[in-house]
Amino acid sequence: MIRIGYGFDSHSFAPNIPLKIGGVELPHHSGLAGHSDGDVLLHALTDALLGAIAAGDIGGYFPPSDPKWKGADSVTFIEEAMRQVEKAGFRVVNADATLILNAPKIGPHAFNIRARVAGLLKVDIGAVSIKAKTPEGMNLENAALAHVVVLLETRPDPEAIEREWEAMQELLV
């Protein structure tokens, strides 16, 4: 069985905050305002993962009204979403993300972001796509947006794999 999940998030830029995208701190004069660290990519990814298994959304697990999550590292959100995905019997096949922002340019950082996200999702870096677009004519010069799609598949039963391996070995003898 396969499942598709979609996530979206947006935050405005604010001074004196580190900019984190995809769990990677990027050099920039301002960061993204939010109750947690404002990591727009990881927030959209969290919602995509939870949505794929019909397990609610990021706000249900990490309510912005709870002071416990003020300034929290968004990696925590992905780790919880992955626990829910695995508990539901799924694993990530791939993730595709589009970031919309004027600056900084994502191209020079895309590999590091892909590698970080791949590690969090427990997939090969080739299963993670990060693209960036500018918000030309959309009046979003002071914001960053993220759209994310994930594909999940049923996690194979390790015992079934072992039985299949043993059956193949018997055929080779």
> Three-state secondary structure along the chain?
CEEEEEEEEEEEEEECCCEEECCEEECCCEEECCCCCCCHHHHHHHHHHHHHCCCCCHHHHCCCCCHHHCCCCCHHHHHHHHHHHHHCCEEEEEEEEEEECCCCCCHHHHHHHHHHHHHHHCCCHHHEEEEEECCCCCCCCCEEEEEEEEEEEECCCHHHHHHHHHHHHHHHC
What is the chain's mean pLDDT, rounded?
94
Range of the domain at 105: 2-172
135-155 pLDDT, tens digit per residue, is 988 888 899 999 999 999 998
CATH of the domain at 57: 3.30.1330.50
Provide the pLDDT for residue 170: 79
Q: Please report which confidence band the pLDDT of residue 169 belongs to, taking 50, 70 and 90 as the band edges.
A: confident
Q: What is the mean pLDDT of residues 125-135?
A: 97
What's the structural domain count of the chain?
1
Provide the pLDDT for residue 173: 67
Q: Please report which confidence band the pLDDT of residue 160 belongs to, taking 50, 70 and 90 as the band edges.
A: low
